[in-house]
Amino acid sequence: MAVLAVGALVLAAGCSSQEGAQSAAGQGARSPAGSATAESNPGASPSASRPAADLPPAKGSVKVVSTLTEGLDSPWGLAALPDGDLLVSSRDKGTITRVDAKSGKKTLLGTVPGVAPAGEGGLLGIALSPTFGTDHLVYAYFTTASDNRIARMLYDEKGTTPGQLLGAPDTILRGIPKGSLHNGGRIAFGPDHMLYAGTGETGDRGLAQDKKSLAGKILRMTPDGEPLHGNPQADSVVYSYGHRNVEGLAWDNHKRLWASEFGQDTWDELNLIVPGGNYGWPEVEGKAGKAGFRDPVAQWKPSEASPSGIAFAEGSIWMAALRGERLWRIPLSGTADKEPLAAPQSFLKGKYGRLRTVLAAGGNKLYLVTSETDTRGTPKPGDDKILVLEVR
């Protein structure tokens, strides 16, 4: 699989070990960020492959159309309701809030009981049941006093009392190791209507290679939290392993699963996930070319990335960078041994600070969530925000 490196090796040790604790772009003042910002081709490199007529262009653009809402506290997970409104989780407050997609008005659904925020832990990813229209279930990945777990809650959309619209959590998976860092946390339902979760190794490196541990893995389970017959290991929710800290999951138009991963000293990664794949940590980091390990499709030095959420739109993976304070575009060819189609491009560098989550909203529209209030940013008035983007 072709691997594209963005930038040179990082010389300072440990720079990406904690979700990008020091920002490269944030060392000085953030550049002004207006409500309508457009960028075309910043940071573009020569094409790695000859594009066909039905493939995305090697060079793209990003336009910030508007700020949907602001004043969010440590936002992390984002999910779109059937009517287009959004649900957003607060890592440190343990709350889920509804955001009106037209006005940006916020309505508190409630606080998830049992959330124990500390370090990188707290209320992390959220996802809607694939049958939300009939069951009204919201899934959440969160840290408790003893573990990370996944639970589902009934959302009473007809309720009239803000803050009391969530039912009691029904835990479907418990026992994911927790730590002050590397908790993973992204969850999403795939094209197969099964639930996937990215976890971290909590700083205990050996757990990533331990197939009996749920740490440092991508998990695949039924909506009830049960292992699937087609999983690589019988009676196990483990889908892939050898991961350091996975905070981004997305599927492309060929139903292929992609994941972003924090590196340590050398390379952050974008990986194409295969069932049973070993992605190398802690034996390798980035491209290694070693038998038995899956190399990343693209890699970045941590000062340019520290990647969290990803989404697929307009033929490309879009990746939110925390320490890198930018949005990355990785155009895809659709063929595993010819990925990526062209060199990754960066957009919005330093304009909005740390970027946590990106969500496809249909066509060329994306939602982008900032992360300046996560204790590692430098909050400005209005932080944190959900931005509306148009991308090509």
Taking a C-beta distance cutoff of 8 angstroms, is the pair 84, 78 a contact? no
List, for residues 196-244, the tens digit of each pLDDT value.
Answer: 999 999 999 999 999 999 999 999 999 999 999 889 998 999 999 999 9
For residue 54, what pLDDT is reported? Answer: 63
Q: What is the pLDDT of residues 102-130, one digit of tens each?
A: 999 999 999 999 999 999 999 999 999 99
R_g of the chain computed on alpha carbons = 19
Nearest C-alpha neighbor of 33 from the set 2, 64, 68:
64
Q: What is the pLDDT of residues 278-323, one digit of tens each?
A: 999 999 999 999 999 999 999 999 999 999 999 999 999 999 999 9
Q: pLDDT, tens digit, for every residue of 74-99?
A: 999 999 999 999 999 999 999 999 99
For the chain, percent of residues with pLDDT exceeding 70:
87
329 neighbors 316 (Cβ within 8 angstroms): yes
In this prediction the pTM is 0.91
- Average pLDDT of the chain? 91
Residues 6 or more apart whose CB falls under 8 angstroms from that of 222 comprise 194, 195, 228
Interatomic CA distance for residues 92 and 83, integer angstroms: 27
The number of distinct structural domains making up the chain is: 1
At 44 the pLDDT is 39
Answer yes or no: is pLDDT of 57 > 90: no
CATH code assigned at 191: 2.120.10.30
Of the segments 13-17, 18-22, 166-170, which one has the largest average pLDDT value? 166-170
pLDDT-derived band at 18 (thresholds 50, 70, 90) equals confident
pLDDT (average), residues 187-199: 99
Q: What is the pLDDT of residue 46?
A: 31
Range of the domain at 311: 4-391
Structure confidence at residue 58 as a pLDDT band (50, 70, 90):
confident
Query: Residue 6's pLDDT is what?
Result: 52
Question: What pLDDT is stored for residue 288 in this prediction?
Answer: 95
